[in-house]
Structure 1
């Protein structure tokens, strides 16, 4: 594993720790630190890692159609997360990058990343068996 890949994993872990603690400012702060250090490309890497974490071993690896009922009526950040995770599930980095760039250009990237972190945590929590608590 390269130092850059390890840094991405460390950053994703920090984001998830903050999200698990309900610390939205910590999530945004970690992403801000990543952007300061590695630019938007670094933040994209962390977001891609969160999508991988969300899907886990269930990642279909291409040609997937994920079901998000009511997505067309959802807020921008929620639609963005659904589309970003779908891009990951379909191994479509070009679409993921386009979504990331569009959210940045729209000034909504922090909201989208916060929602992605929250969705990842919610997904991880849903996998935990009650006996695991």
Structure 2
């Protein structure tokens, strides 16, 4: 594992630890620390890692059709997470990067990343039960 990959995993762990504790400010702070150190590209890497964590080891490799009933009526951040996770599931980094950039340009990236972290924790909890 490269130092960058290890740093990304450490950063993702910090985000998830805060999300697990219900500390939204901690999630945003962890992402802010990544941006300060590695720019938006670093935050994108952490978000991509969270999508991988959410889907787990049994995720289909490409051509995945994920079902999100009512997604068109959902809030921006929820639609973003669904589309970002779908991009990951379909190994479509170009779409993931475009979604990430659009959320940043819209000023909604912190909300989207907070929802992604919360969704990842909810998914991990549902697997335990």
Give the alignment's TM-score, normalised by structure 1.
Answer: 0.95
C-alpha displacement of 1:58: 2.6
Q: Which moved more, 1:5-14 or 1:58-67?
A: 58-67
Segments of structure 2 that go 5 or more residues without pairing to the other structure are none
C-alpha displacement of 1:47: 0.1
C-alpha displacement of 1:85: 0.1
Q: CA RMSD in A?
A: 0.4
C-alpha displacement of 1:57: 1.6
Deviations 1:99-128 (A, max 9, x none): 00000000000000000000000000000x
Give the alignment's TM-score, normalised by structure 2.
Answer: 0.98
The number of residues matched between the two structures is: 127
Segments of structure 1 that go 5 or more residues without pairing to the other structure are 128-133
1:53-72 equivalences in 2 (<5 Å): 53-72=53-72
Q: Which moved more, 1:112-121 or 1:56-65?
A: 56-65
After the TM superposition, which parts of structure 1 deviate over 4 Å for at least 4 consecutive aligned residues? none
C-alpha displacement of 1:87: 0.1
CA–CA distance in structure 2, aligned partners of residues 79 and 115 of structure 1: 10
C-alpha displacement of 1:59: 1.4
